[in-house]
């Protein structure tokens, strides 16, 4: 019992360190880094929603960007066209995104494996086609511009990127906590049971499909929150944010970091977005380098960075990880 509580303290300690790093970013680094961190956080929420589904349900979705984009589009439309005041566009946007996830979820949750991938691909492309073709609502390929971040407590999130950073950090931390708490809750335990054997769960009286469905909607919620911050930060949204390219990039970020961990999702997104900026500044052929990098990751570190550190980094990292109570997870 005492040992257990000690581990708990260490985990809190680790959480404090991580929180400290995130909170101190605007103080100790440059503006450029703050902007990068903002991008990494909202795309990170998108990637986390993918890795949550991959880790908890064992399925790969190619439509998480749709929920991200639908929320973003609704914020943009409600704000620029109907002039709704602040809390309403994001609330409605997230709600609509959840409703659509609820409707499409009934369809996709019935299938597994490659069929899930194909079905989400098709539905994701459908959302993209709507965004691109339904010009009267979405302004077509031009997209909707001039979306402004709100003013909160007298501070304009549009003018102060530091304020925006903290505003987003609050929700980013909330979304991360939400997914971790879900994982550890009885609900998360049931999902683990389903992953091991669906028929055994049925036999014990669990509505397997309903639980999977709920997980799908929860994942969409996190993606939708990311989408709101995306549109506030960029000030515009166009069909490329719900395109297949965005979905694939999300998947790549997840694979790079480690597909079934939340930390991997953020790490992978961070590396991918940084390389994106750095490499594209150096060479026009940066996609080629990205491709080669992925080749290496898939060949030599198929479990991603987090998975590889867990497997091979035992010698020097494992004492540290064990000290923090992160030995096996």
Partner 1 sequence: MTEFLLNICHLDAYYGKSHILQGIDLQVRSGELVVVVGRNGMGKTTLLRSVLGLSPVQRRGEIVFNGLETVKKLTHEIASMGVGYVPQGRLLFPSLTVDEHMQFVCRNKKKESRWTPEEVYNLFPELRQRARVNGGRLSGGEQQMLAIGRALVTNPLLLMMDEPSEGLAQIVIKRVEQVCRHLVSEGMAILLVEQNLEMAQGLADRAFIFYNGRIAYEAPGDTFRREREKVGSFLGI
Say whether residue 193 binds partner 1 (CB under 8 A). yes
Distance of closest approach, residue 223 Cβ to partner 1, in angstroms:
27
Say whether residue 190 binds partner 1 (CB under 8 A). yes
Q: Is 259 exposed, middle or buried (0-12, 13-18, 19+ CB in 10 A)?
A: buried
Find where tokens 């929920």 sit: 67
Contact with partner 1 (CB under 8 A) among 178, 206, 294, 324? 206
Stretch in the footprint of partner 1 (CB under 8 A) among 128-136, 170-178, 199-207, 318-326: 199-207
Q: How far apart are the first and last CA of the chain?
A: 20
208 vs 263 by CB, closer to partner 1: 208
Query: How many residues make contact with partner 1 (CB under 8 A)?
Result: 17
Say whether residue 200 binds partner 1 (CB under 8 A). yes
Say whether residue 208 binds partner 1 (CB under 8 A). yes
CA atoms of 300 and 308, how far apart (whole Å)? 9
Distance of closest approach, residue 305 Cβ to partner 1, in angstroms:
23
Cβ–Cβ under 8 Å, residues 324 and 16: no
Contact with partner 1 (CB under 8 A) among 30, 196, 282, 300? 196
Say whether residue 2 binds partner 1 (CB under 8 A). no
Say whether residue 58 binds partner 1 (CB under 8 A). no
CA distances from 162 to 41, 122, 228, 229, 274 (A): 14, 39, 17, 14, 19
Say whether residue 7 binds partner 1 (CB under 8 A). no
CA atoms of 220 and 99, how far apart (whole Å)? 10
Contact with partner 1 (CB under 8 A) among 83, 85, 154, 205? 205
3-state SS of 8-57?
Answer: HHHHHHHHHHHHHHHHHHHHHCCHHHHHHHHHHHHHHHHHHHHHHHHHHH
53 vs 208 by CB, closer to partner 1: 208
200 vs 285 by CB, closer to partner 1: 200
Residue spans of alpha helices (H) in 109-207 = 113-133, 135-138, 161-184, 186-196, 198-203
Contacts of 275 (CB under 8 A, 6+ apart): 286, 289, 290, 293
200 vs 314 by CB, closer to partner 1: 200
Distance of closest approach, residue 200 Cβ to partner 1, in angstroms:
5
202 vs 314 by CB, closer to partner 1: 202
Largest CA distance in the chain: 64
Say whether residue 189 binds partner 1 (CB under 8 A). yes
Cβ–Cβ under 8 Å, residues 75 and 232: yes
Distance of closest approach, residue 274 Cβ to partner 1, in angstroms:
35
Say whether residue 109 binds partner 1 (CB under 8 A). no
Provide the binding-site residues for partner 1, judged by CB under 8 A. Answer: 186, 189-190, 192-193, 196-197, 199-208
């Amino acid at each position: 019992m005492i040992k257990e509580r000690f581990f708990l303290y260490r985990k809190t300690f680790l959480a404090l360190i991580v929180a400290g790093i995130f909170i101190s970013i605007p103080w100790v680094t440059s503006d450029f880094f703050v902007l990068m961190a903002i991008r990494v956080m909202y795309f990170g929420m998108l990637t986390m929603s993918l890795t949550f589904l991959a880790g908890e349900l064992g399925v790969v979705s190619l439509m998480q960007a749709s929920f991200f984009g639908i929320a973003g589009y609704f914020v943009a439309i409600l704000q620029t066209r109907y002039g709704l005041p602040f809390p309403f566009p994001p609330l409605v946007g997230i709600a609509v995104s959840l409703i659509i996830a609820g409707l499409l979820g009934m369809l996709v949750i019935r299938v597994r494996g490659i069929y899930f991938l194909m079905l989400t691909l098709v539905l994701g492309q459908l959302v993209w086609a709507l965004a691109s073709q339904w010009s009267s609502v979405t302004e077509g390929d031009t997209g909707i511009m001039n979306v402004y971040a709100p003013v909160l407590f007298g501070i304009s999130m549009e003018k102060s990127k530091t304020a925006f950073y903290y505003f987003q950090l609050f929700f980013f931390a909330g979304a991360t906590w939400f997914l971790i708490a879900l994982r550890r809750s009885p609900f998360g335990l049931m999902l683990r049971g389903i992953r091991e054997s669906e028929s055994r769960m049925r036999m014990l009286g669990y509505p397997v499909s309903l639980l999977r469905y709920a997980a799908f909607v929860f994942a969409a919620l996190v993606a939708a929150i990311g989408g709101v911050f995306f549109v506030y930060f960029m000030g515009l949204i166009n069909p490329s944010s719900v395109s297949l390219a965005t979905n694939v990039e999300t998947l790549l970020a997840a694979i790079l970091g480690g597909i079934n961990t939340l930390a991997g999702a953020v790490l992978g997104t961070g590396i991918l977005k940084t390389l994106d900026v750095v490499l594209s500044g150096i060479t026009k052929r940066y996609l080629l380098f990205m491709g080669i990098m992925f080749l290496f990751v898939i060949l030599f570190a198929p479990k991603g960075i987090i998975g590889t550190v867990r497997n091979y980094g035992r010698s020097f990292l494992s004492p540290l990880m064990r000290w923090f109570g992160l030995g096996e997870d």
